[in-house]
Amino acid sequence: MDNDTSAFLLLEFYWNSTGKIRELQVMYRAIFLILYLMTIIGNILIISAVAFDSHLHTPMYFFLANLALQDIGSVSFIVPKSVINSIINAQHISYSGCVVQVLLFVFFVDSDISLLTVMAYDRYIAICNPLQYELIMNRKACTKIIGSVWIASFLNAVLNTIGTFTTHFCSNVINQFYCEIPQLLKLACSDSYAIEIGGIAFSFMLAFGCFAFIIVTYVQIFIAVSKISSIQGRKKAFSTCFPHITVFSLFLFTSSFAYLRTPSDTPSHIDFVITIMYSIVPPMLNPLIYSLRNKDIEVALSRLFGLRTLILIDKSRSRHMEV
Q: Which residues of 34-59 are buried (b: 16+ CB within 10 A; e: fewer)?
A: ebbebbbebbebbbbbbeebeebebb
Give the model confidence (pLDDT) of 24-46 as tens digits.
677 777 888 899 999 999 999 99
Give the model confidence (pLDDT) of 123-138 as tens digits.
899 888 888 999 999 9
Distance CA 239, CA 45 (A): 21
- In the predicted model, what is the mean pLDDT of residues 306-316? 51
Q: What pLDDT is recorded for position 221?
A: 85
DSSP state of 150: H
Q: State the CATH architecture for 7-292.
A: Up-down Bundle (1.20)
Q: What are phi and psi of 175, to 5 degrees?
A: -85, 60
- Cβ neighbours for 3, distance < 8 A, ≥ 6 positions apart: 95, 165, 168, 169
- Cβ neighbours for 246, distance < 8 A, ≥ 6 positions apart: none
Q: Which of 286, 194, 211, 216 is nearest to 253 (CA)?
A: 211
For 15, other C-beta atoms within 10 Å of its C-beta total: 16
Distance CA 132, CA 2 (A): 57
Q: What sign results for the dihedral spanned by CA atoms 10, 255, 169, 98?
A: positive
Half-sphere exposure of 313 (CA within 13 A, CB side): 6
Distance CA 253, CA 278 (A): 8
* Distance in Å from the first CA to the final CA of the chain: 74
**pTM to 2 decimal places:** 0.85
Q: What pLDDT is recorded for position 292?
A: 59
- In the predicted model, what is the mean pLDDT of residues 288-306? 75
Give the model confidence (pLDDT) of 171-207 as tens digits.
888 888 899 888 888 888 866 666 677 778 888 888 8
Tell which wins on pLDDT, 254 or 114: 114
Q: Which of 42, 49, 89, 104 is nearest to 68 (CA)?
A: 42
- On the question of pLDDT at 75 being above 60, the answer is yes
Highest mean pLDDT among 67-71, 276-280, 289-293: 67-71
DSSP state of 7: E
